[in-house]
Amino acid sequence: MHIMMKNLYLFLVLVFPLISYAQDHPTCDGSRYTDDVYSDIDSTMNILYGEGVTIAGNTLELYMDIYEPSQDIEEDRPVIILAFGGSFIAGEKEDIAWLCKRYARKGYVAVTIDYRLYDLPLFPLPSANDMQVVVTKAVGDFKGAIRYIRSAADNGNPYGIDPDHVYIGGISAGGIAAMHAAVLDTTDTFTQDLTDIIAAEGGLEGTVNDYNYSSEVQGVINFSGGLNDAQWIDANDPPFISVHDNGDPTVPYAGGFANIFGFDIIYLEGSKVMEEVADSLDVLNYLKTYDRDSHVSYLFDEDDITDMVDLTASYLHDLICEEKLFVATNSVNKTLPVKIYPNPTSGEITIDIESINSIKLDIYNTLGSLVYRSKSNNDKLDLSFLNNGVYYLTLDNYETQSRYFQKIIIKK
């Protein structure tokens, strides 16, 4: 790791819990996808990927810009497709060119896309039904962009993309669009109104283009986004990482109403609720919380920007590369003082830990399967139900966003 990483992340060479997601990609070399290994970036601008009709009835051509590391010898690289923020009423793809360039310096191909915005008069403000229509259109646009990228990879691959490693993300409204594009499917339950909206937009895939390729993704980066209903997350949905302010007044950190100009518009369940639902289903996810009463506060400080780009890039790295494990931020085993004994144990272990109000304990076997989970602060655990062998215990402190890691040996 370079000094710029500030010891923010720790990666351990293990064989769990990313085994089910890791691909051991041939481009992984220990620094690519985590460090800034390229200084120059190539860009291809204004690539038409489709067109669609806005809520006001206007036909809009949709474009994307693609950023690649310059003079890169690799030809099959993971791609991150990103959407800008702006409450679905403002913004343009160029707004996050800076973010694409940061990911491209780490070896990713990064794409910023147009998507259809609310273009009716702003007063009176859009209704919840209007916003469902607009978000549904944006989801169709995202899926159309994904299909275009896979089509390009299958037809000469001019951008050097690995179609098996497509990741999406976005900031604020863009994060909302990305999360919905990643998790919505025909197994989800919708209200009749939303069912009618989706049908009118040509289904969840939308109609912005007719490329006959999959729109599934391998992971999501969610910057202060959310879902209309976090219960739409299913056990087979892709991993995701979220960054969010816990006092966000615009897109709720937990459950609440998103607002425009201070007016509540539509109910959303933010990053905290999505984490809880994903945890209950064992969907791989991670939440970085900023203790601030602000919206995307981390975009207004250079150190925070570096931290959140490095954090999310490192998370994707471990979905791509098999040899390392993303475990936490903020100095693992230092911010969460713990003593666990006896080890080896015949079954019962004692956990000596300072008083913490919000904690999660997981135990995995060497195949990466979760064999035990607890969210209580019990100081003694009876693990006699487990067979002899090696296990891996993690303790997550939600208050400080830190993790303690310990190998446990059971020997009866």
3-class DSSP assignment, residue 354: coil
Beta bridge partner(s), residue 394: 362, 405
pLDDT tens per residue across span 39-53: 999 999 999 999 999
pLDDT of 71 over the 90 cut: yes
Is the per-residue pLDDT at 12 higher than 80?
no
Peptide bond into 78 cis (omega under 30): no
Strand order across the 359-365 sheet:
370-374, 359-365, 389-397, 402-410
pLDDT band at 170 (very low <50, low <70, confident <90, very high): very high
Listed in sequence order, the DSSP H helices in 35-118 are 97-105
Q: Is 158 left (phi over 0), alpha (psi -120 to 50) or beta?
A: alpha
Question: Is the pLDDT reported for residue 405 higher than 90?
Answer: no
pLDDT value at residue 356: 52
Confidence label for 198 from pLDDT (cuts 50, 70 and 90): very high
Point out the least confidently predicted range of 212-216, 341-345, 369-373, 382-386. Answer: 369-373
Q: Indicate the helix (H) or strand (E) that contains 327.
A: strand 325-329
pLDDT of 18: 37
pLDDT band at residue 372 using 50, 70 and 90 as cut-offs? confident
What is the mean pLDDT of the segment spanning 152-169? Answer: 98
d(CA 283, CA 222): 15
pLDDT for residue 364 is more than 60: yes
Quick: pLDDT tens for 270-283.
999 999 999 899 89
* Class of the domain covering 3-329: alpha beta
Q: Specify the pLDDT at position 139.
A: 98
- Which residues, 6 or more positions from 272, have their beta carbon under 8 angstroms from its beta carbon? 244, 246, 253, 254, 287, 289
Q: Are 10 and 286 in contact (CB under 8 A)?
A: no
Please compute the mean of the pLDDT values over residues 21-35 and round it to a whole number: 78
Percent of the chain with pLDDT over 90: 65
Question: Residue 3 pLDDT more than 60?
Answer: no
Share of the chain above pLDDT 70, in %: 85
Task: Report the pLDDT averaged over residues 82-98.
Answer: 97
Q: Is the pLDDT of residue 403 over 80?
A: no
**Which residues lie closer than 8 Å to 37 by C-beta, 6 or more apart?**
31, 69, 105, 106, 107
Among the residue ranges 199-203, 240-244, 366-370, the one predicted with the least confidence is 366-370
Which residues lie closer than 8 Å to 263 by C-beta, 6 or more apart?
125
Least confident window among 133-142, 184-193, 232-241, 322-331: 322-331
Mean pLDDT across 305-319: 91
Q: Chain-wide mean pLDDT for the chain?
A: 86
Asked whether the beta carbons of 14 and 390 are under 8 A apart, the reply is no
- Cβ-in-10-Å burial (0-12, 13-18, 19+) of 291 comes to exposed
Mean pLDDT, rounded, for 360-368: 73
Report the pLDDT value the prediction gives residue 10, as an integer from 0 to 100: 32
Q: Which of 186, 174, 187 is nearest to 141 (CA)?
A: 174
Residue 7 has pLDDT above 60, yes or no: no
Closest of 233, 234, 275 to residue 255, by C-alpha: 275
Q: What does the alpha-carbon distance between residue 198 and residue 396 come to, in Å, rounded to a whole number?
A: 38
- The fold for domain 338-410 equals Immunoglobulin-like (2.60.40)
Q: Check residue 398 and give its pLDDT.
A: 57
pLDDT at 410 over 70: yes
The residue ranking higher by pLDDT, 62 or 2, is: 62
Q: 350 or 402: whose pLDDT is higher?
A: 350
Question: What are the domain boundaries of the chain?
Answer: 3-329, 338-410
pLDDT band at 392 (very low <50, low <70, confident <90, very high): confident
**Between these two residues, 88 and 368, which has the higher pLDDT value?**
88
Residue 14 pLDDT = 31
- Name the pairing type of β-strands 161-171 and 402-410: unpaired
